[in-house]
Chain A
């Protein structure tokens, strides 16, 4: 039981390049989330997927797109990377509503945009 996995672990992009961060969970969870973590700002929600087939914007969605590929997988795409998107990105999953219980986090992706 791997829990929540993310690829890649590290990535360096040049301004304007695109990339997709991958996330998968094997806990049969309905809901999945993408957060970014910046020093002194906690975890900020980028997008979430309440269930397979649905996605919604979070607090900081600009510059990102997401795809809920199936119940297990939720990807985050940066179409044209900017230095302001340098951050650590965490994927998370939960059984259902955020208020229903624990969110399980992946190991994170450290992204640097130069």
Chain B
């Protein structure tokens, strides 16, 4: 099955700086890569996703890049704000019902 590794496990950034989280996956058949954000005590929620036919996708301060050859994808958050503090999960799936998640990155934005 798919194996997703996520780094770093914790990330502390100064407000206004950028944050980058990287994930690698093992199954070359994977073609859908979502990112979920989980605030403390809350449920995970999708913030952005990318498909294998696209190399980059942006949504305001958030962007995701995908390198299919190297089998890795990254989340970029620019101009970080206190409300960006949360746990972020990457995930990957081939075209089936099973979504494989990374272990998560705890992002802390320092004021």
Contact = CB atoms under 8 A, between A and B. Distances in A.
Chains A and B bind each other:
yes
Interface of A: 31, 33, 40-45, 48, 50, 56, 58-59, 90, 97-103, 105-108
Given A90-B44, A98-B32, A99-B31, A42 B94 contact: no
Contact of B44 (A97, A101, A105): A105
Contact of B98 (A58, A101, A108): A58
Given A103-B46, A105-B43, A98 B102 contact: no
22 contacts: A33-B99, A40-B9, A41-B103, A42-B89, A42-B101, A42-B103, A44-B101, A45-B98, A45-B99, A48-B97, A48-B98, A50-B97, A59-B1, A98-B32, A98-B96, A99-B95, A100-B32, A102-B49, A103-B34, A103-B99, A105-B44, A106-B43
Q: Is the interface of B mostly helix, strand, loop or mixed?
A: loop
Contacts of A100: 32
A3 to B, nearest CB: 9
B32 A99 contact: yes
B44 A98 contact: no
Given A44-B101, A45-B98, 15 more contacts: A33-B99, A40-B104, A41-B103, A42-B6, A42-B101, A42-B103, A42-B104, A43-B89, A45-B100, A48-B97, A48-B98, A59-B100, A97-B95, A98-B97, A103-B99
Closest 7 CB pairs of A and B: A99-B32, A105-B43, A42-B101, A98-B99, A43-B101, A42-B103, A102-B46
B80 to A, nearest CB: 22
Interface in B12-68: 31-32, 34, 42-46, 49
B103 A98 contact: no
A43 to B, nearest CB: 4
B89 A102 contact: no
B85 interface: no
B74 interface: no
Contacts of A42: 6, 89, 101-104
B100 to A, nearest CB: 8
